Amino acid sequence: MTGAWLRTGEVAEAAGVNAQTLRYYHRRGLLREPRRSNGGHRLYPPETVTALRVIKAAQRLGFTLDEVADLVEAGGHRHGRPDRGLQARAVAKLTEVEQKIADLQTIRETLLQAVDAGCDDLMACAASSCCPLPFAELTEGGRRADVD
Amino acid sequence: MTGAWLRTGEVAEAAGVNAQTLRYYHRRGLLREPRRSNGGHRLYPPETVTALRVIKAAQRLGFTLDEVADLVEAGGHRHGRPDRGLQARAVAKLTEVEQKIADLQTIRETLLQAVDAGCDDLMACAASSCCPLPFAELTEGGRRADVD
DNA sequence: TTGCATCCTGTACCCCGGTACAGGCTTACC
DNA sequence: GGTAAGCCTGTACCGGGGTACAGGATGCAA
């Protein structure tokens, strides 16, 4: 089973990422360093392409690269750990995503109101209070802004 | 009318921002440079606090600082320009926000499916295709990812 | 006048997810 | 064995929105 090793560029192209990104993921601990040729060139097993697709999928689901690194790690040595990573983390991420959707919907409402009100100069509106824009600090009265 | 000038720290505190942020906004063209004391200290009119609140409100609505700078500028010399900035831009931003909501809802669905399916190791799932996660490139078949 | 808080400028740094470049070595093919 | 494409390393840079720090000048009150 020595016929299928892939070089950096081949892996990158197959997974649809930049070759530099591979090195970056090694640095970030998302990919293990593969074996090397005598001359020092990396030689990847074909599964690496799958690993990259997994990483990209997780990113699309809103996980940061640090979180992805955790997930991969958790998947790796999940040999009887009580952790059971993926489920719990997916649920947590789901909550985050739902919060973000709610936030954006608030923003949407506000924009709609602003358009309806037809105001045309922010400073003038702020002065005359004709405008429904939330000039007061939302971040103190409502939910915290430092969360996202 | 010379009793109400505010110093940098006073403005910053009244508006709930860091004093350094004021300098940053000057650099970005979001605030005009105010008058100075003999010694070179900035002396702001009280409206500056309102201006800062407006900027923060616009940010909360999803405008970037560059966009806010445009909006402020447009509001300022809107003396017969055909531009009529705020309305058009608010509508455009509304579209963006709605797109983001739609994207997040797709992500939400996918996460829900992943949780339902109960898979626990990304790599294993990717290999066995038991898992409903979109490991293939969504970004090519579906909507473009370079938009946001 | 002295002392301390505040302010000034310029510059560097932070996070995040990469991307680019320089200068040199390896591999693959003819 | 020559040559071009590809790969190696280290380092610097991008954008977005700030924050921090150094070293010096001012402002204000006692």
B142: left (phi over 0), alpha (psi -120 to 50) or beta: beta
Q: State pLDDT tens for residues A31-70.
A: 999 999 999 999 999 999 999 999 999 998 889 999 999 8
Residue A138 in this model has a pLDDT that exceeds 80: no
> Which range is least confidently modeled, A9-13, A99-103, B41-45, B84-88?
B84-88
Check CB contact under 8 Å for A86 and B121: yes
What average pLDDT does the segment A77-81 reach? 57
Residue B3 in domain: no
Q: State pLDDT tens for residues A124-134.
A: 777 776 666 76
Residue A143 in domain: no
What does the block give as tokens for B14? 């009244």
**Domain tally for chain B?**
2
Return d(Cα B124, Cα B130) in angstroms, integer. 9
Residue A112 in domain: yes
CB B7 within 8 A of CB B48: no
The b/e string for B73-109 (b: 16+ C-beta within 10 A; e otherwise) is ebbeeeeeeeeebbeebbeebbeebeebbebbebbbe
- Cα–Cα distances in Å, from B35 out to B4, B6, B32, B38, B73? 13, 11, 10, 10, 19
CATH of the domain at B66: 1.10.1660.10
The complex's ipTM works out to 0.77
CB B37 within 8 A of CB B78: no
Can you give the pLDDT at residue A7? 97
Residues B44 and B70 in one domain: yes
Q: How far is A35 from chain B (nearest CA, A)?
A: 20
Residue A47 in domain: yes
The alpha carbon of B103 is separated from its chain's Cα centroid by a whole number of angstroms, namely 18
Residue A29 in this model has a pLDDT that exceeds 50: yes
Residues B70 and B35 in one domain: yes
Banded pLDDT at A87 (limits 50, 70, 90): confident
Check CB contact under 8 Å for B97 and A104: yes
Whole-number distance in Å between B8 CA and D1 C1': 72
Residues B22 and B71 in one domain: yes
- In the 8-state DSSP scheme, what is residue B29? T
Residues A42 and A89 in one domain: no
Can you give the pLDDT at residue A39? 96
A43 burial level (CB within 10 Å; 0-12, 13-18, 19+): middle
Check CB contact under 8 Å for A94 and B105: no
- Out of A59, A76, A93, a domain closes at A76
Residues A71 and A89 in one domain: no
CB A93 within 8 A of CB A63: yes
Q: State pLDDT tens for residues B66-120.
A: 999 988 876 656 555 555 567 888 888 899 999 999 989 988 988 888 888 877 7
Banded pLDDT at A74 (limits 50, 70, 90): low
B80: left (phi over 0), alpha (psi -120 to 50) or beta: left
Residues B45 and B64 in one domain: yes
- In the 8-state DSSP scheme, what is residue A122? H
Residue A19 in this model has a pLDDT that exceeds 80: yes
**Range(s) of the domain holding residue A117:** 85-136
Check CB contact under 8 Å for A87 and B115: yes
Residues A47 and A104 in one domain: no
Residues B41 and B91 in one domain: no
Question: From the alpha carbon of B43, which nucleotide's C1' atom is closest?
Answer: C7
What average pLDDT does the segment B122-146 reach? 58
A3 touches chain B (CB under 8 A): no
Residues 65-84 of A with CB under 8 A from B: 71-72, 75-76, 78, 84
Long-range contacts made by residues B103-106, C-beta under 8 angstroms, separation at least 24? B103/B143, B103/B148, B104/A62, B104/A97, B104/A100, B104/A101, B104/A104, B105/A101
Residue B1 in domain: no
Q: State pLDDT tens for residues B16-53.
A: 999 999 999 999 999 999 999 999 999 999 999 999 99
Residues A71 and A90 in one domain: no
Give the list of residues 6+ apart from residue A57 with CB closer than 8 angstroms, or none.
B122, B133, B134, B135
Return d(Cα B119, Cα A85) in angstroms, integer. 10
Return d(Cα B136, Cα A114) in angstroms, integer. 40
Residues B27 and B71 in one domain: yes
Check CB contact under 8 Å for B57 and A119: no
- Residue in chain B nearest A17 by alpha carbon: B137
Can you give the pLDDT at residue B73? 76
- Out of A76, A97, A112, a domain closes at A76
| Residue whose pair of structure tokens reads 């799958």 in the numeric block | A50
Q: How far is A39 from chain B (nearest CA, A)?
A: 30
Segment holding B111, helix H or strand E: helix B85-117
Return d(Cα A25, Cα A31) in angstroms, integer. 6
Residue B59 in domain: yes
Residue A145 in domain: no
Q: Which of B78, B97, B98 sits opposite A121 (nearest CB)?
A: B78
Residue B108 in domain: yes
Residues A42 and A101 in one domain: no
Q: Where are the alpha helices (DSSP H) in chain A?
A: 8-15, 19-28, 47-60, 65-76, 85-117, 122-128, 138-141
Residues 112-131 of B with CB under 8 A from A: 112, 114-115, 118-124, 126-127
Residues A41 and A71 in one domain: yes
Banded pLDDT at B148 (limits 50, 70, 90): very low
Provide the residue type at A88 as one letter. A
